[in-house]
Amino acid sequence: MPDTVWDLLVTGGLVLSLDKNLGTIENGAVAVAGDRIVAVGPAENFSRSGAARVLDARGGIIMPGLVNTHTHAAMTLFRGLADDLPLMTWLGDHIFPAEAKLTDETVYWGSLLACAEMIRSGTTCFCDMYLFEDAVARAAADAGIRAVVGEVLFDFPSPNYGALENGFAYTQSLISKWAGHPLITIAVEPHSPYLCAPDLFKKAAALAKRHHIPLVTHLSETRNEVDQIKEKYGKTPVQHLAELGVLSDSLVAAHCVVLTDEDMDLLKSFDVKVSHNPESNMKLASGISPVPALLERGVCLGLGTDGCASNNDLDLFSEMDTAAKLHKVNTLDPTAADAPTVLGMATGAGARVLGMKDTIGSLCPGKMADLIVVDTKKPHLTPMYVPESHLVYAARGDDVSTTVIGGRVVMEEGRLCTIDLDRVIEKITAIARDISEGR
């Protein structure tokens, strides 16, 4: 290599680039200048003296950071609050009443806790839908994690902005405030067809299109939702949004559990992106998304954890394991949702879901330096024949030792560098006490 000075060199591990040209490098290194990757190759080609800072992977796996395509970060505040309930009961009787008491400050601290959990378990980018989303954006920016955030819009008054027209004004203010930020992207986020009137969806889609940003919604999550929309509009939720002109390649549709063949064909024809949330769908007994059929059609799928109140964690390694096994047992086909495909859903395909395929999701020169190191010197990761299989079926979030986002080391050897975790836990404990006493 030429005598280039790098800001950061991550070396001494198996580089799983997930780039079709670079492949896997047994003893590799990744060089970073500023916030971008500038070189990837064998470790012997890189002089440690050419880097301002060197991170030794110590034989672990150097790989792209994981992409969580759907969550509600501040719902860490409600982890375990109302378990073992159907979706509509869970929402109407427990979550919505608790959310009515949220504030900008409580959402900030709940989101910061979520950022800590995600960074520690290898997630370097997440897509969030919730209330007081400026607080979520601030928490993500403070933590140094990449995020796509948007204020949830629905027909009834919000605890944050009140009447719906204020919700669109709030979204517009987010777009203006965070424009050009290196980590934060704003999205327009109508909640779902069952909580949003047709005009709301049309206006939201137009706003997203005007600013060239993602449009995010929940779609076809339960049989009850589908029946409700069919009774009201005479169509499935997917067909309903198609008629409204909402389906597009910038739409991120979370869940997509109850789908007809026509629904799946529509999703493919409009290049709609789907966020698969298997653990939340299982816990709420919503059903099983037809992921193999979607993949066969070529629909782009990413993985999401959903919020901590319905999962109850933000560990994408756990989500990968669940996704791969769920679709095997559901189809009685052990080849369904194989390890490389599911790993791709949590990395490159996840990046494409969020409109970031050219900037994150693989390790190659020119992309953002979002990467993690997985410590493989663990009993449950020994021996290692196929890295992709290990990452999906054996690795856990706490196997991640180091996390780098945009060239910044946000966790090193298990120590968070950007978040005072003790302070966050102290704040959350006090907030949880208030929530519990107010029930």
Q: What is the DSSP-derived secondary structure letter of residue 234?
A: S
CA separation for the pair 193, 228 (Å, rounded)? 10
pLDDT digits (tens, 9 = 90+) for 258-284: 999 999 999 999 999 999 999 999 999
Beta strands 123-130 and 8-16, pairing class: unpaired
**For residue 359, is pLDDT > 60?**
yes
SS3 38: strand
Task: Determine the pLDDT at residue 1.
Answer: 47
Q: Sign of torsion, CA 265 268 273 279?
A: positive
pLDDT category, 361, cuts 50, 70, 90? Answer: very high
Is residue 154 within 8 A of residue 201, CB to CB? The reply is no
Work out the end-to-end distance of the chain between its first and last CA atoms, rounded to an integer number of angstroms.
Answer: 62
CA distance 313 to 309: 8
For residue 385, give both structure tokens. 């024949």
Nearest C-alpha neighbor of 13 from the set 400, 295, 284: 400
Quick: pLDDT tens for 127-157. Answer: 999 999 999 999 999 999 999 999 999 999 9
Task: Taking residues 19-35, report their average pLDDT.
Answer: 97
Whose CA is closest to 131, among 94, 165, 106?
A: 106
What percent of the chain has pLDDT above 70? 99
* DSSP tag of 50: G
371-429 tens-digit pLDDT: 999 999 999 999 999 999 999 999 999 999 999 999 999 999 999 999 999 999 999 99
Q: With the CA atoms of 47, 50, 53 and 55 taken in that order, what torsion angle do they form, in degrees rounded to the nearest 10?
A: -20
- Amino acid of residue 104: D
pLDDT tens digit sequence for 152-210: 999 999 999 999 999 999 999 999 999 999 999 999 999 999 999 999 999 999 999 99
* Strand-pair category, 146-153 with 184-186: parallel
pTM above 0.85, yes or no: yes
Rounded to the nearest 5 percent, the helix, strand and coil shares of the chain are: 40, 25, 35
Average pLDDT over residues 305-314: 95
Rounded-to-integer distance, Cα 375 and Cα 395, Å:
9
Which pLDDT band, with edges at 50, 70 and 90, does 65 fall under? Answer: very high
What's the whole-number mean pLDDT along residues 354-368? 98
Least confident of 62-71, 79-88, 231-240, 342-351: 79-88
